Amino acid sequence: MLAFLDEINAQQQFAVDQPMPSRQVHLDFHTSEFIEGIGIKFDKKQFQAALKAGHLNSINVFAKDHHSWAYYPSKVGKIHPHLNFDLLGEQLKACHEIGVNAPIYFTVGWSANDALNHPEWCIRNRAGEIDKSPGINANAKPTDVFPQYGWTRLNAAFGSPYHDYVVKQVEEICQRYPQIDGFWFDIYHISATDYSPTSLERMKKEGVDTSDVKAVEKSFALALKAHMQALRKLVTKYHPKATVFFNTANHINNKSIFKERLYDLNTHQDLEDLPSTWGGYDKLPLEAKYHLQQGTPATAMSGKFHKAWGEFGGFKLPGALRYEAAAMISNGVACNFGDQLHPSGEMDLETYNRIGYAYEYVEKIEKYGLGGVPVSKLGLWLTLNTAADHGVVNMLLETHNDFIVANEKNLQQLSVVIIPSSPCLTENQANILNEWSKKGGKLLVIGEGGLDISKKKLLIDVGADYVKKSDFNFDFTVVAPSIAQKMVSSPFLNYETGLVVKPTTATTLAYIREPFFNRTYEHYSGHRETPYRLENASYPDVIQNGNTIFLSHNLDQLYYAHGVQLHRQLFENILGLLNKAPILEVKGLQSCGRVSFLQQSSQKRYLTHLLYTPALQRGDVTVIEDFVPISNVSISVDVPEKIKSVIQIPSGKILSFKQMGKRIVVKVPTFEMHTGIVFNY
């Protein structure tokens, strides 16, 4: 696998020599056979007018959709029954005529008519039944409402007959069109396992125990990786400069599709999202940092849609699109907004005027984001537990402590590492971290993150012995004066208890107050939690052992679930004891503000991006609507290079700065939504 990747990356210099197209659209086009007149209103000039109104330099166009229909004259597959011309070919011509990139979309995991005509191609569950999206009722009446995103799932793993079919159709496309900018292969997240006859035969040869779900998941993921390898090699054979992307394999999660690094087969990383309903506006920074640190260019994806990908008639406000686009550039990644083409083939100009409002701003700032690499001396260790990892990320973002992703290989560039509260460390990793800490590195260990996988012992030297998980369902914290800034002196509530540890060499920074008893049918008091005792427990909450601070609670997961401001303040105060000389410091920015720090070494500059717009909960959607002027913000940086000048973007205004010790201090002019401060050296 590695030799293959080295070989094709040597041929395919896209990621190294060419920047990612910065202003993209992903044009969905999933169109039923029950709709006639497909493409009858497609007009090259109108299509190009939409691209120009949107300020686009790239758009994904469709070869094959989720209904299985091709939008070109296919001899392998079937052209849409109500399409009588090469719509894909005409779109490619229209794009290339005005210098717009046009990667080709091809569905894989969902393909309705392929599944209907070839049930042997479908993914099966452990009972041998065809695996379909949740909500599909096999006994439904024809007039019953069909569930949204309701598709049958297909098995494209290497060695399956469906894989062979996909390869033939992709090769047909490669041979048909002389200029192909890239392929965008979709739907690889649909199932972690497959028990179809094809997969069962493969697993038998591999010696996989099919009762072991993790082993089945890994086998399926590696078979999909081999499928991806075959497709990438095929595309590279015909179009060496074409990009290749397999969707969803690059999202950070605790699944084999990510852990087995299927994303290595991508020439770049498109981070599909819809922050208004999918994962929130704080999901992007971690994924962008991770992939940029892998040395791979990346694009953030959102949609013009209000609530869901592919909805017709759904619109975000233009300002919301502009904020999302600015956030993408701020994190060093390109921009992509999803749209869905009407079956008639006519582009919706209202959509492209709104996208154009966002991308007009991107044109002013993109050169100050793309090609940038995250820089920080603060590192977050990934556990692949969403609540733990993103609980830490949320607190870091809200307190404006910029960070990178930590691992064994980059510890020497870090001064502080945070271990979130999910056990993930191997003995070897823990030994490396312990040695690093002894040499001056600083560790913040949260709850169970310091334990081994079996949760029986502490792997990190926190200056205490592990005793047990607390017997209480909840408890309270009392802080010592050293970490009492902006805290309350009273005991404050933890909705879940933590670990009981017995200090050996550590000193106590915060104490536990136990409740009188758990709330049970046997004994309870009041509406909710039992009151706390008047004396501290015999075991601590927060302890410090040299360069290591340990919190007994899974504070990150508590914050992720409950959002207690005191928990975030406790985290910030503790981090402040360790993170005494960050590269970037921000003062005066409210918690809804976001900061990002990048270095563009080829341009000899550092970039601080600042954003401020509250995300408001409206129904079950988070919306961006209010944009207010932000003033009285200052930033300071401590970098090894001598700073020659500081400018504000997008205005280009030259800013004065002060030298205070090693730090360069700048007062940020009043801004609305976004600004950037550029430090040239």
How far is it, in rounded angstroms, from Cα 679 to Cα 670? 18
Which stretch of DSSP H or E encloses residue 200?
helix 197-206
Exposure of 315 by Cβ count < 10 A (0-12 exposed, 13-18 middle, 19+ buried)? Answer: middle
- Average pLDDT of the chain is 96
Tokens in use for 499? 């670990």
- So what's the pLDDT on residue 10? 47
Which residue ranges does the chain devote to CATH 2.60.40.1180?
584-680
Domain 584-680 has CATH 2.60.40.1180: yes
As a whole-number percent, the residues of the chain with pLDDT over 70 amount to: 97
On the question of pLDDT at 478 being above 90, the answer is yes
Contact 323, 613 (CB under 8 A): yes
Domain 37-371 has CATH 3.20.20.80: yes
Which residue ranges does the chain devote to CATH 3.40.50.880?
376-578
Strand partners, 656: none
Contact 415, 579 (CB under 8 A): yes
On the question of pLDDT at 4 being above 90, the answer is no
Question: Tens digits of per-residue pLDDT, 575-589?
Answer: 999 999 999 999 999
First to last CA, the chain: 41
Tokens in use for 151? 């598709």
- So what's the pLDDT on residue 514? 98
Report the pLDDT averaged over residues 308-334. 97
- So what's the pLDDT on residue 13? 42
How far is it, in rounded angstroms, from Cα 500 to Cα 475? 12
How far is it, in rounded angstroms, from Cα 7 to Cα 279? 36
Question: Tens digits of per-residue pLDDT, 300-313?
Answer: 999 999 999 999 99
Question: Tens digits of per-residue pLDDT, 79-138?
Answer: 999 999 999 999 999 999 999 999 999 999 999 999 999 999 999 999 999 998 888 888
- So what's the pLDDT on residue 18? 59
Report the pLDDT averaged over residues 280-289. 97
The single-letter code of the amino acid at 657 is F
Report the pLDDT averaged over residues 332-340. 98
The phi, psi pair for 515, rounded to 5°, reads: -75, 165
CB neighbourhood size of 666 (10 A) = 20
With the CA atoms of 425, 429, 432 and 435 taken in that order, what torsion angle do they form, in degrees rounded to the nearest 10?
20
On the question of pLDDT at 15 being above 60, the answer is no
Contact 131, 153 (CB under 8 A): yes
Domain 376-578 has CATH 3.30.460.10: no
Contact 302, 338 (CB under 8 A): yes
The phi, psi pair for 455, rounded to 5°, reads: 60, 40
